[in-house]
Structure 1
């Protein structure tokens, strides 16, 4: 079963393979070891994990920075199996579970908890879990959760993006960015994506009407303004982007800092432009579950496709972290678990 912090408590003595670390640091701290396999409580689902994801939040959790992340992973050293995004098969269900049955393919997230970088995990049947969209591979399903849940929360819950509005997405080729381009386009917004030269055609193919190559043009100097500026990679501050916001515009960032927290307060007191940061992993379970269902509907309607950069085996999870640490991944980096 799962605790409120997301760690899995266990019963029984069966073993499974999982990623573990005994200290915070570089990818070298990660190893794959045997740990106790979880057993589902009466209201829980046991999932055989087939694919999971390594992204910047996982790298931050591995390093233990910023420090508040240790409230979930362990104050002095990691105490939980990392990873929150998963796709796999229901292996068993508790006696009171009615929503899922053994053999069904499911995807979801354990955030703000963890435990997905393992062969098995347990979570409540009313957790952030849903049936996998038809015809998707496990890797693609995990990638949908990876950037899609964050992008959906920012665009719908925090930006409240409306049809006819304009949005600029900085970091449009990352996992959150590729999802945001597609979702914003589907919501009826006019989308401008910002990325490097190598990814211009990808971002355009996902639905961006305009693509800015940041190696040649600084979007903050063009004089163009947007209803929403979504910095999906946390590279440009509210101060730098303020003049790129139209009247009533909203700036959003995925990366926390003292600066953005201060600017959130100041922008609510002065003027009509807003600065917004949100820890989307802390959204209510019901909200995340609703977003999963919406993402599944978008996928099945052909309006959303996951972008997978590379796949690594579970034993090579440290290499996956090293690649993510380069800061140059496109879409999601998937870790496959077993066959």
Structure 2
């Protein structure tokens, strides 16, 4: 089968399309014929080995996982004897980040807990855009942010993969949502139901005297003091993505702020979770959430796809078609 393989950390150019042996599913695994995958920030960390601390999980001197790719959608081709949830022919989608990655390939063998049935109203490409970004948005809003109906929520970096899902999920929980984005993305956020949109090239959300119950920092370089000032009393800030400096501040200064004031500040890392995939499928099939796809690339164009993604200007998700 064809797969994207890399043997050292580095830029997108080190990714190669290579013939590798087709996997055989173990007793508790499913063999999936992959139709599509997508790129997330975690894929970029896996490729470059940056920040350096990530190498303690992904391999200190060289990559532990030779085939990257976390999100997949596809068709079940075979199942191991201990598999109970799926059968050959099922259309599925899932997140492989918790079970060895390997999504940038024509076939992958994975535990059934990594998968869910694909939403019936989505194409394979649309379904592949969902797992990591959608579940990241869900967990950061519902679990870390403890969202409640009627709350005012601000999402900084609302037009990217996680951000577009976060806007819609927050709305599905009954929040009043403000999205921060560039001028060219205003229409996208409005189409997703954002109540207010701030164009960061014309206005700074930290200086408009608005206060929010929950702020998601999906992108940006603002110091934590700016976010703290924009929070209501008992408000929560969740760092989901952004600069390394901001992440370090959230882990250190944020912990101190949380202990010494009524405002809570923390950083967040998504965890693959089958129940949350089920939850996302319900939102998608109900039409409460839809994936936004910026560009699609073939397997042979993965390096080009990564180069585009790392520029940081994608509107929604970047998808790889097998």
**TM-score bucket (shorter structure):** over 0.9
Counterpart in the other structure of 1:276: 266
In 1: Cα distance, 2:239 partner to 2:221 partner: 9
Runs of 4+ in 1 over 4 A off after TM superposition: none
Task: Check whether the contact 1:146–1:175 (CA below 8 A) recurs between aligned residues.
Answer: no
Counterpart in the other structure of 1:52: 37
Please, what TM-score do these two structures have when normalized by structure 1? 0.90
Give unmatched runs, 5+ long, in structure 2. Answer: none
Query: Aligned ranges for residues 141-290 of structure 1 at < 5 Å?
Result: 141-255=127-241, 257-280=247-270, 283=271, 288-290=273-275
**1:334 is matched with which residue: 311, 316, 319?**
319
Counterpart in the other structure of 2:101: 114
**1:133 is matched with which residue: 119, 129, 152?**
119
In 2: Cα distance, 1:73 partner to 1:49 partner: 23
Task: Check whether the contact 1:47–1:122 (CA below 8 A) recurs between aligned residues.
Answer: yes
**1:100 is matched with which residue: 86, 91, 102?**
86
| CA deviation string 1:84-140 (max 9, x = no partner) | 111111010001212101011100101233111111111112x13100001211110
In 2: Cα distance, 1:168 partner to 1:291 partner: 22
SS in 1 for 2:252: helix
Over the aligned positions, Cα root-mean-square deviation in angstroms equals 1.3
In 1: Cα distance, 2:221 partner to 2:41 partner: 13
- State the aligned residue count: 316
Task: Check whether the contact 1:165–1:189 (CA below 8 A) recurs between aligned residues.
Answer: yes
Question: Taking structure 1 as reference, are residues 134 and 234 closer, same or farther at Cα in structure 2, changes over 3 Å only?
Answer: same
Residue 237 of structure 1 deviates from its aligned partner by 3.3
In 2: Cα distance, 1:151 partner to 1:167 partner: 13
Question: Taking structure 1 as reference, are residues 71 and 36 closer, same or farther at Cα in structure 2, changes over 3 Å only?
Answer: farther
Residue 204 of structure 1 deviates from its aligned partner by 1.1
In 2: Cα distance, 1:304 partner to 1:102 partner: 28
In 2: Cα distance, 1:296 partner to 1:194 partner: 26
Task: Check whether the contact 2:258–2:264 (CA below 8 A) recurs between aligned residues.
Answer: yes
**2:64 is matched with which residue: 79, 84, 87?**
79
Residue 234 of structure 1 deviates from its aligned partner by 4.6
Please, what TM-score do these two structures have when normalized by structure 2? 0.95
In 2: Cα distance, 1:150 partner to 1:263 partner: 23
Residue 74 of structure 1 deviates from its aligned partner by 2.0
The reply to whether residue 33 of structure 1 matches residue 18 of structure 2 is yes
In 2: Cα distance, 1:187 partner to 1:166 partner: 11
Counterpart in the other structure of 1:305: 290
Residue 276 of structure 1 deviates from its aligned partner by 1.3
In 2: Cα distance, 1:196 partner to 1:109 partner: 29
Segment drifting more, 60-69 vs 178-187: 60-69
Segment drifting more, 236-245 vs 253-262: 253-262
In 1: Cα distance, 2:97 partner to 2:218 partner: 18
In 1: Cα distance, 2:224 partner to 2:21 partner: 46
Counterpart in the other structure of 1:11: none
